[in-house]
A and B are shown apart, each in its own frame.
Chain A
Amino acid sequence: MFWDKTMETMEEESIKEMQLRLINETLTKAAGAPFYRNLPVKEVKTLQDFTAAVPFTRKQDLRDHFPYGFLRTDLAEAVRLHSSSGTTGNPTVVFHTIGDLEKWTDQVARCLYMVGVRKEDVFQNTMSYGLFTGGLGFQYGAEKLGALTIPIGPGNSKRQIWFMQTFGTTVIHILPSYALRLYSVFEEMGLDPKKDTKLRIFLIGSEPHSEELRRQIEELYGVKAYNSYGLSEMCGPGVGFECPYQDGMHLWEDRYFVEVIDPETGKAIPDGEEGELVLTTLQKEAMPLLRYRTGDLTSIVPGRCRCRRVHKRIARIKGRADDMLIINGVNLFPIQIEKTIMKIPGVGKNYLIEIKTENFMDKLYVKVEVDREIFEGTLAGLTSLQDRITEELKAEILVTPTVQLAEPGSLPVWEGKAKRVVDNRGK
């Protein structure tokens, strides 16, 4: 069951040889980007030489060298741009050439084929299209594979179900939290997805979730649910994917060089132990990234997979090495919230971010102290302040928060480093 048998079943030694060659090609290519102009090496003799000589690239570097600091081709060669949310500080922008898109598409098709998706399938993609890569990435991969694709996007659960029933959807790409929410809509409509739909495969990802949650989705819908891993900096979805054995996500080593490091020391961590995932693109043309710190905490699953693919497997993502939050699949940083609210007159000095699970979905609360000096005594003034904070946050983080106004001095005051994010999901 291979989309690309040669690549997928290549032996470890051959993978390493190929990686060394691709790393050297990538070093040459990367040197064309302003950020990588002064790389310490032009060529390496071994993979160990590469990790010893080349420094890490961080998300902050992408922001600091916005917008073109990592672009190594002429802008004319780039055909697509994807971007993270946000205008406070620079967003993370990624460019693709035609070749990059072809590789990405092929990679997603490889993932889908691996879990049993075929051209006869009907694929419904409930992820956001647009700048978020989860929409277009899967769209192109599924089309390449030949499945009928429904680019429905997120939301409107009844319409989702109508499409599933009308067109006999067999494969769906969905946030795990939304899968649970959607099930409750099936129930409300008096439907049982096991009997009333043809669903058989769920592709889940974009937010960290537990093994228990996956099993729950599989039982509720009577399907197989496969975990996926991706990030826009590498291309988007399709960087890693579970095979039918569901024991870790194969990370395509012909496309990426994989390291797991101690986020504090930067030292390599042995297989099986948890650390930060570091990836180097091996075939990217527009924007190669060298030793990019993903911020995602995981471990390499030791040993060889029964599916015969040698590509290393990473375990389910455990969390973040930095303070990035993932709210219903959307990535954001607390600093974006802070910068946005602090610009608004009427907002006091202290605030608190709380995330809860409500109706199976993440719900973001932003509690903001009111500035005593600016209070002019009307309820209308307060509600318009509340609305303004909500609107400005929504524009910045692409998530609609519930903004609560608090009395000055009512939120916890911290000595030293403030703990302004309370994550109560799943509690």
Chain B
Amino acid sequence: MTYHLSIFMENRPGKLERITKILAEHAVNIRAVSLASAGEFGVAKFLVDKGETAYQALQEQNITVSKRRILIILLPDKPGAMHELLKVLAENEINLEDCYGFVIDRGKQAALVIEAEKYPQAEGALREKGYKLLSDEELSNL
């Protein structure tokens, strides 16, 4: 299962820095990060190269962290690429719970990270259209 780390944190100075410190100390490389806030508190999501190492380290430091299943979809880094991809998901009535992206190779390749409601359907529909999904191993070798 491909996952990112979802972390509960209070929306205050130094809270995020505490997380990045733990990751840095364990030589974990951050691929992408997203933040969502509900005012006083929020959730930070980290996509990292060594998920298990990071998860253990955060747990040991009493951070409220949970693994969230995701799909990392590779797509060309060009105008309209995300639209093409979302069309596939929309046509199959797949709702996204969270979504963010990052560039892997400028002008060539990007990745879109999604949390979806229906994983088997989402995966099937994307593969059918020729999309490649990044595995855990590939993620750590990026």
The reply to whether A376 and B41 contact each other, CB–CB distance below 8 Å, is no
Contact with B along A386-416 (1 / 0, CB 8 A): 1000000000000000001111111000000
Query: 16 additional contacts, CB 8 Å, given A375-B6, A407-B9?
Result: A375-B64, A375-B65, A377-B43, A377-B67, A377-B68, A378-B6, A380-B97, A383-B38, A404-B40, A404-B41, A405-B40, A405-B41, A406-B10, A406-B41, A407-B8, A410-B10
Query: Within residues 1 to 40 of chain B, which ones have a CB less than 8 A from any CB in chain A?
Result: 6, 8-10, 15, 36-38, 40
CA distance A408 to B65 in the complex (A): 11
Q: Does chain B have a CB within 8 A of A175?
A: no
Residues of B within 8 A of A377 (CB): 6, 43, 45, 66-68
* Least distance between B69 CB and chain A CB atoms (Å): 9
Q: Does chain B have a CB within 8 A of A382?
A: yes
The reply to whether A382 and B8 contact each other, CB–CB distance below 8 Å, is yes
Q: Does chain A have a CB within 8 A of B124?
A: no
Q: Which of A379, A386, A404 has most chain B Cβ within 10 Å?
A: A379
Q: Does chain B have a CB within 8 A of A251?
A: no
- Taking Cβ atoms with an 8 Å cutoff, the residues of B that contact A are 6, 8-10, 15, 36-38, 40-43, 45, 62-68, 97-98
Number of A-B residue pairs at CB separation under 8 A: 52
CA distance A410 to B11 in the complex (A): 13
CA distance A406 to B36 in the complex (A): 16
The reply to whether B8 and A370 contact each other, CB–CB distance below 8 Å, is yes
Number of interface residues of A (CB under 8 A): 18
The reply to whether A375 and B66 contact each other, CB–CB distance below 8 Å, is yes
Q: Does chain B have a CB within 8 A of A372?
A: yes
- Which residue from chain A places its CB closest to the CB of B66 in the assembled complex? A377
- Contacts A406-B10, A407-B64, A410-B10 known; A379 to B43 CB distance under 8 Å? yes
CA distance A408 to B7 in the complex (A): 12
CA distance A379 to B115 in the complex (A): 13
Contact with B along A66-87 (1 / 0, CB 8 A): 0000000000000000000000
Residues of A within 8 A of B68 (CB): 376-378
- Which residue from chain A places its CB closest to the CB of B3 in the assembled complex? A377
- Which residue from chain A places its CB closest to the CB of B40 in the assembled complex? A404
Q: Which of B42, B43, B63, B97 has most chain A Cβ within 10 Å?
A: B43
Residues of B within 8 A of A407 (CB): 8-10, 15, 63-64
Which listed residue, A375, A380, A404, touches B8 by the CB 8 Å rule? A375
The reply to whether A379 and B66 contact each other, CB–CB distance below 8 Å, is no
Residues of A within 8 A of B36 (CB): 379
* Least distance between A271 CB and chain B CB atoms (Å): 49
Query: Within residues 264 to 285 of chain A, which ones have a CB less than 8 A from any CB in chain B?
Result: none
Residues of B within 8 A of A405 (CB): 8, 10, 40-41
Which listed residue, B43, B45, B67, B97, touches A382 by the CB 8 Å rule? B43
Q: Which of A370, A375, A383, A386 has most chain B Cβ within 10 Å?
A: A375
Q: Which of A375, A404, A407, A410 has most chain B Cβ within 10 Å?
A: A407
CA distance A407 to B11 in the complex (A): 10
Residues of A within 8 A of B40 (CB): 404-405
Residues of A within 8 A of B62 (CB): 372, 408-409
CA distance A382 to B15 in the complex (A): 17
- Between A and B, 29 residue pairs with Cβ closer than 8 Å are A370-B8, A370-B64, A372-B62, A375-B6, A375-B8, A376-B66, A377-B6, A377-B67, A377-B68, A378-B6, A379-B36, A379-B37, A380-B97, A382-B8, A382-B38, A382-B41, A386-B38, A404-B40, A404-B41, A405-B8, A405-B10, A405-B41, A406-B41, A407-B8, A407-B9, A407-B63, A408-B62, A409-B62, A410-B10
Residues of B within 8 A of A383 (CB): 38
* Least distance between B67 CB and chain A CB atoms (Å): 7
CA distance A379 to B15 in the complex (A): 16
CA distance A29 to B52 in the complex (A): 73
* Least distance between A382 CB and chain B CB atoms (Å): 6
* Least distance between B62 CB and chain A CB atoms (Å): 5
Q: Which of A376, A377, A404, A405 has most chain B Cβ within 10 Å?
A: A377
CA distance A70 to B28 in the complex (A): 67
Residues of B within 8 A of A375 (CB): 6, 8, 64-66
Q: Which of B40, B43, B64 has most chain A Cβ within 10 Å?
A: B64
Residues of B within 8 A of A404 (CB): 40-41
* Least distance between A348 CB and chain B CB atoms (Å): 9
